[in-house]
Structure 1
Amino acid sequence: MGYFVEAKQDVKIFVEDVNPAGEHTLLFIHGWPADHRLFEYQFNVLPAMGFRCVAIDLRGFGHSDKPWEGYSYDCLADDVRSVVDALHLRNFTLVGHSVGGAISIRYMGRHGGHGVSKLILLAAAAPSFVQRLDFPYGLSKDDVDRLIEATENDRPKMLRDLNGMFFFRNIGEPFADWFFQINLLAAGYSTTAVLVSLREETLFGDVASIRVPTLILQGVHDEIVKPQLAAVLHKSIPGSKLVWLGDSGHGLFWEQKEKVNEEIIGFVC
């Protein structure tokens, strides 16, 4: 079932809601530069296991509205809160991939984890996506600047080239085209704006506020969110569980989908 929820600034956020009668609710937040369809291989399995699977398209991506402004972590986290309130979600597990993980962490800090009972971070772009003077992990700012330049000059080529960086395992042409078409649906300016947020924003304070059981899944071959970030998150979140995925890059939701689904089921139940 798909429908729209109105967020701040009259922005309509697309929501996919599968198995609303499920015993356990999962709210999925996708990463850059895609939309909720990245979680197809979780939605194919988890509803049959008794889960209600809810996923959103972030503003600027997928079927959601594409306003010119509103791509800060604060605003994106507020959009998540709008969905949580509209659907009256309580005692749910928040699942974020990449920048979706960063937004999930900002939600935990900015909204006090409202309604969240457990947190799952899939290759989360946190606590800082880029290297800083006091934080030597992640991509360099120059790396992100090159992605921004490529997006602004030839976004289709950037998206085609992204496959080699995103996935560790070889992907066939049909899957590559599927992934390309998902990413192409975003607005060019929103694709750039989220990259700017990834480059400029940090989440150290938000991470420190997390008090719910947390599962961290990380591909060891990830070239986008460097594996050291997962180690830092694990150290920073008391009682968190870190699972390394030895055959995955950034696309762990597909590259080791069976393992990811198994870990989600075991953690939530």
Structure 2
Amino acid sequence: MGYYVQVEPSVNIYVEDINPKSENVILFVHGWPANHRLFEYQFNVLPGMGYRCIGIDLRGFGQSDKPWEGYSFDRLADDIRVIVDTLGLKHFTLAGHSVGGAIVIRYMGRHRGYGVDKLALFAAAAPSFIQRPGFPYGLQANEVNQLIQQTYDNRPQMLAELTNMFFYRTLTPAFKEWFFQLGIVASGYSTANILVTLRDEVLFADVESIQVPTLIFQGIHDQICLPQLASILHQQIQRSKLIWFEHSGHGLFWEEQEKFNRELLAFLTT
């Protein structure tokens, strides 16, 4: 079931709500530059296990509205809060991939984890996506700047090159086209503005605020959110469990989907 939630005047967020009668709720927040369909291989399985899977398209992406402004972590976390309030969600699992992981961490800090019983982070872009003084991990700022420039110069080419960087496994042409289409339906400016946020914002204080059980998934071949970030999150979040994916890059939700779904289900039932 798909519908829209208005998060502020003239900005509507698309929501895909699968198995809405279930009280076991997982709210998924996708990564850059995709949309809720990134979790297709979870939505194929988890509802049959009795879970209500809610996927949203972040503003600027997928079927959501694409305003010119509003791509800070604060605003994106506030969008989630409006959705949580509108749907009346309580005692749910909040899950985020890549920049979606960063956004759900900001939600935990900014909204004090409202309604969240468990947190799941998949290759999260946190606590800092780039290297900074005193934090020698992540990408370099100039690498992100190059992606921003490529987005404005030739976004289709950038997305095509990103596909090969995103995954560790060899991809079929059909799968490459599927993944490319996830990114191409976003607006160019939202694609770039999320990168600006990733480059400029940090989540150290938000990470320290997390008190709920937290599951961390990380592909050891990830070239986008580097594996050291997951180790740091595991160290900083007291009630966390880190699971490595030995045959995955950034796209572990597909590359090792059976392990991904099995470990997520185990976390949800404990």
Give the shorter-chain TM-score range.
over 0.9
How far is 1:58 from its partner?
Answer: 0.1
* Number of residue-to-residue matches in the alignment: 269
1:118-197 equivalent positions in 2, closer than 5 A: 118-197=118-197
Aligned: 1:209 with 2:183:
no
Task: List, as ranges, runs of 4+ consecutive aligned residues in structure 1 with deviation greater than 4 Å.
Answer: none
Aligned: 1:64 with 2:64:
yes
Question: Which 5+ residue runs of structure 1 have no aligned equivalent?
Answer: none
- Can you list the C-alpha shifts for 1:217-261, whole angstroms capped at 9, x where unaligned? 000000000000000000000020000000000000100011110
Aligned: 1:104 with 2:89:
no
What's 2:19 paired with?
A: 19
- Can you list the C-alpha shifts for 1:180-226, whole angstroms capped at 9, x where unaligned? 01100000000000000000000000000000000000000000000
How far is 1:68 from its partner?
Answer: 0.1
Provide the C-alpha distance between the structure 2 equivalents of 1:187 and 1:151, rounded to a whole number of angstroms.
Answer: 10
- Can you list the C-alpha shifts for 1:21-74, whole angstroms capped at 9, x where unaligned? 124100000000000000000000000000000010000000000000000000
What's 1:50 paired with?
A: 50
What's 1:230 paired with?
A: 230
Normalised by the length of structure 1, the TM-score is 0.99
Task: Give the SS at the match of 1:7.
Answer: strand
Provide the C-alpha distance between the structure 1 equivalents of 2:171 and 2:36, rounded to a whole number of angstroms.
Answer: 20
- Can you list the C-alpha shifts for 1:133-158, whole angstroms capped at 9, x where unaligned? 11000000010001001001000000
Provide the C-alpha distance between the structure 1 equivalents of 2:240 and 2:108, rounded to a whole number of angstroms.
Answer: 15
Task: Give the SS at the match of 2:247.
Answer: coil
The amino acid across from 1:99 in the alignment is V
Question: Which 5+ residue runs of structure 2 have no aligned equivalent?
Answer: none
The amino acid across from 1:198 in the alignment is L
What's 1:117 paired with?
A: 117
How far is 1:9 from its partner?
Answer: 3.7
Provide the C-alpha distance between the structure 2 equivalents of 1:197 and 1:235, rounded to a whole number of angstroms.
Answer: 24
Provide the C-alpha distance between the structure 2 equivalents of 1:34 and 1:99, rounded to a whole number of angstroms.
Answer: 10
Provide the C-alpha distance between the structure 1 equivalents of 2:246 and 2:259, rounded to a whole number of angstroms.
Answer: 11
What's 1:252 paired with?
A: 252
The amino acid across from 1:225 in the alignment is C
What's 1:77 paired with?
A: 77
Normalised by the length of structure 2, the TM-score is 0.99
